[in-house]
Amino acid sequence: MDDNVMKLIDTHAHIDVDRFDEDRDQVVARAREAGLVAIVNMGDTMESSLRSVKLTQQYDLLYAGVGIHPEEAKALVTQNEMDQLAKWTEMDKVIAIGEIGLDYYWCKDAELRELQRQVFIQQLDLAKQMHLPVCVHNRDAHGDTLEILKREAKGVRGVMHCFSGSLEMAKELLKLDWFIGVDGPLTFKNAAKLPEIVQAVPLESILVETDCPYMAPVPMRGKRNEPAFVLHVAEKLAQLRGESLEKIAEQTTKNAQELYKIK
Ligand code: NI
């Protein structure tokens, strides 16, 4: 490949879902045309983790994270499931435990929240054991997420995906040598504090992502999101930081390659 061509990585996608069944080949082809050199597809259940693993065998562009999302945490991860997750992570293109974390937005029940925390900790332990980075989902659970990471994830690196916290939280994550994942909401009119935060943190700590099929960035807002649209996130980042798109693409790609050991 020509080294002058801009390279991007979508560090968080869900193209295993059935909304891509009709045209997955074209979606991956469009990503390649947009300059993507990798797509990291995240699992959120055992089933979608398996689908993500299979996609890595089908498409050279695809890498996978495996894990159970907090909204899918209905019981503790069983020993069988732990063994299966561990087995998948031994494959070259399975590069992270994710997406895991806490989501208190829909979950008001104290017992279910406790279960989410335990499932999160189980999977952080697995990441530690397998020496893998983690991709963390956190919605309305900033305090507990940070507290658990500090207590239970010593030596584990990762990304706070779809970052929605404060600048203070971002700084706490930087102290842990973690990354901040930025996606569609950065381009929204109601982006709140996010534009200020991406201006204040070093570019070396930012990853770009889509979280497709959800949250398509402007000018695609409202459509089905797809990995190629990560370009719009990178463009917004370039505009806000007053840096060239090429520089944003180069550094965020380097960051993703460093965290996820993608060659
Ligand atoms: Ni996601």
How would residue 66 be classed by pLDDT, with cut points 50, 70 and 90? very high
- C-alpha of residue 143 to centroid of ligand 1, in Å: 20
Dump pLDDT digits (tens) for 91-109.
999 999 999 999 999 899 9
Helix %, strand %, coil % for the chain, to 5?
50, 15, 35
Cα–Cα dist 37/232, whole Å: 16
- C-alpha of residue 99 to centroid of ligand 1, in Å: 6
Count other Cβ atoms within 10 Å, centred on residue 60: 12
Alpha-carbon torsion 263, 61, 32, 50, what sign? negative
Dump pLDDT digits (tens) for 4-18.
578 999 999 999 999
Pair 119, 76: CB distance under 8 Å: yes
Predicted model pTM: 0.96
> Could you list which residues have their CB under 5 Å from ion ligand 1?
211
DSSP 8-state assignment for residue 137 = E
Task: Give me the domains of the chain, ranges plus CATH numbers.
Answer: 8-260 (3.20.20.140)
**176 has a pLDDT exceeding 60:** yes
**1 has a pLDDT exceeding 50:** no
- C-alpha of residue 3 to centroid of ligand 1, in Å: 30
- C-alpha of residue 129 to centroid of ligand 1, in Å: 23
Span 219-244, average pLDDT:
97
